[in-house]
Amino acid sequence: MFPLGAGVPDVFDPRVYADGLPHDAYRLLRDRHPVAWQDEHEVLGWPAGPGFWAVTRHRDVLRVLKDARTFSSRLGATQIRDPDPADLPFVRRMMLNQDPPEHGRLRRLISHAFTPRRVERFTAAVRQRARHLLTAAVEAARSGDGTCDVVAAVTDEFALLNLADLLGVPAADRGLLLDWTRRVIGYQDPEEAGAPEPGPDGRPADPRSPAMLGDMFGFARDLAAFKRRHPGDDVMTVLASDDDLETAELEMSFFLLTIAGNDTVRSAAPGGLLALARHPDAYDLLRRGDVGAAGCVEELLRWHPPVLSFRRTAAHDTYLAGRRIRAGEKVVVFHGSANYDERAFAAPHRLDLSRTPNPHVSFGNGPHVCLGAHFARLQLRVFYEEARNLLPSLSLAGQPQRLVSNFINGVKSLPLALAAAAPPAPPS
């Protein structure tokens, strides 16, 4: 841990999460400092910030997420680090960074693309993809040393191709989605995104800045123009044909769907496999059919939330858990802590695939609850159904590598033993 003094542990530093969720720190905060001031110190080349309030109890997290009048997404956007003030007007064109009622207008427009019929139409393709990728991984393990990095071989590709199908991205361009995701999501991890690029002022350039995303926005405009000429049954066709969606809104919607749509499943799927590998009894229950895949999805999302934190800004002076919060101060909810709050979950450190009710906040809550949650749940349910059929057992073949990030609960590498090693070739 990186202590701040007065018994308050540091849950801001991205390096904390390279070892997994900091449960001891979270428990200490929940029990003694449920709304705790955190210093936003300089780390990994990124400059210091003004600090924020960390909210760690389930009840308080729900209050922040539901009360958009008090805890604004618009005032300072939704990640801990402040965007450049010059970028804020453009950043606010994305619904994630809006408050009601403006947020509701854009959410309704985009939700037209996420009809249950359109999402469910992808079930067969998602299942075939999961089956193909898992089968290929087992075969590769059998012909090698019996192990496989399922992130590189299975889950990255699974999430990417499903998202590309939903968006309607041509096959030749699909690798761009993963490149953009790594650039934006992995910016705190030097191994993932490299050293920060210097901006015009010599300070690290923010990869979320519109100036750094020109290639993504240009692609979004070109893809929208293509979809107007060649419509399909996909999300970009719906967005491109909506006359009420301004160009900047379309660009930011493509950004949101690409980054959030990809990284939610890209983080959750290997996180779920890791949990099952460490809890073979739970995996046996799933394989025998004693627990359903849908309930399994919910518990694994609680156990390994894809998103670690979201930020709001106080719109006016208020109190939260007895703490006075002043207008303009940052308020950050920690999903991983809320999902393990003993006040909301019985035995939260027990993996219970039949847990019900399961009020986890891995997809948020309130007006900004994840728009793509249904599609993410569909992908994860199908993935675990195919895994239980194709992988008789799960066991770690090495230490997993996690993303250095205080935003995304990413798994960069997950070596699993999937099959017995192939016998050595006979001497020639």
The whole domain housing 56 covers 14-417
Mean pLDDT of 35-43: 95
pLDDT in tens, 268-296: 999 999 999 999 999 999 999 999 999 99
Q: What is the DSSP letter of 205?
A: P
Decide if pLDDT at 398 tops 90. yes
Euclidean distance between CA atoms 137 and 135, whole angstroms? 5
Decide if pLDDT at 216 tops 80. yes
Number of structural domains in the chain? 1
Helices (H) and strands (E) in the chain, counts: 17, 12
Mean pLDDT of 413-427: 72
Indicate the pTM of the whole model: 0.94
Decide if pLDDT at 188 tops 90. no
pLDDT in tens, 92-134: 988 999 999 999 998 998 888 888 888 888 999 999 999 999 9
Interhelix angle 174-185/214-229, nearest 10 degrees: 150
Domain-embedded: residue 252: yes
Domain-embedded: residue 9: no
Q: Which of 77-81, 178-182, 356-360 has the lowest mean pLDDT?
A: 178-182
DSSP SS3 for 174 = helix
Q: What does the pLDDT read at residue 424?
A: 52
Euclidean distance between CA atoms 355 and 336, whole angstroms? 17
Amino acid at 29: L
% of the chain exceeding 70 in pLDDT: 94
For residue 220, CA distances in Å to 38, 55, 168 come to 37, 36, 11
Domain-embedded: residue 56: yes
Decide if pLDDT at 234 tops 80. yes
C-beta separation of 100 from 367 below 8 A: yes
- Phi first, then psi, for residue 415 (nearest 5°) are -80, 120
Nearest to 45 by CA among 250, 202, 226, 222: 202
Q: What does the pLDDT read at residue 211?
A: 81
Decide if pLDDT at 45 tops 60. yes
Domain-embedded: residue 185: yes
Structure tokens at 51: 């600090």
Domain-embedded: residue 3: no
Q: In which band, very low, low, confident or very high, does the pLDDT at 30 lie, cut at 50, 70 and 90?
A: very high
Domain-embedded: residue 167: yes
Q: In which band, very low, low, confident or very high, does the pLDDT at 2 lie, cut at 50, 70 and 90?
A: very low
pLDDT in tens, 322-346: 999 999 999 999 999 999 999 999 9
Mean pLDDT of 303-313: 97
More confident residue, 28 or 181: 28
More confident residue, 161 or 197: 161
More confident residue, 44 or 96: 96
Decide if pLDDT at 384 tops 90. yes
Domain-embedded: residue 387: yes
Q: What does the pLDDT read at residue 202?
A: 64
Find the CATH number of the domain harbouring 75: 1.10.630.10
Domain-embedded: residue 220: yes
Q: What does the pLDDT read at residue 426?
A: 53
Torsion sign across C-alpha atoms 362, 40, 328, 199: negative
Decide if pLDDT at 1 tops 60. no
